[in-house]
Amino acid sequence: MATETLGRPVSVRLPESLQKRVEAIAESSRRSRGDVLREAMERIVDQLEWEQHIAAKAMAARAGERSAVSLAELDDENPSPGISLGSGDTALATTGLSAISMRTNC
């Protein structure tokens, strides 16, 4: 994580089982619970932003506003460099895009 000034605290209630998992990770890595939760949030927000990016492209393609693109092109346009569909892995791509397609049809 880059050295960035931390903002205001955010309060979130966690199920006990998740809280215990966070505490175990914090203890085993000798980090604070806050550091573990901050890292987890950064990772999931990157993933959620990427999913929204892909879902928007899928909706545009369905509406005829955009032609279909290859998996390699999606990875090239990926706004979250840590996340990849895995170019050449058709099963993973199909699974990932099906899950996103189901979300956009809700």
Mind listing the pLDDT tens digit of every residue in the chain (106 residues)? 457 888 898 899 999 999 999 999 999 999 999 999 999 999 999 999 988 988 888 888 888 877 766 777 766 766 555 555 554 433 333 334 444 443 444 3
Measured between alpha carbons, how far is 51 from 53 in angstroms, rounded to an integer? Answer: 5
pTM above 0.85, yes or no: no
**What does the pLDDT read at residue 48?**
92
**What does the pLDDT read at residue 73?**
72
Tokens 């955009």 found at:
66
Measured between alpha carbons, how far is 83 from 80 in angstroms, rounded to an integer? Answer: 6
Yes or no: say if 104 and 58 are a contact pair by the CB < 8 Å rule. yes
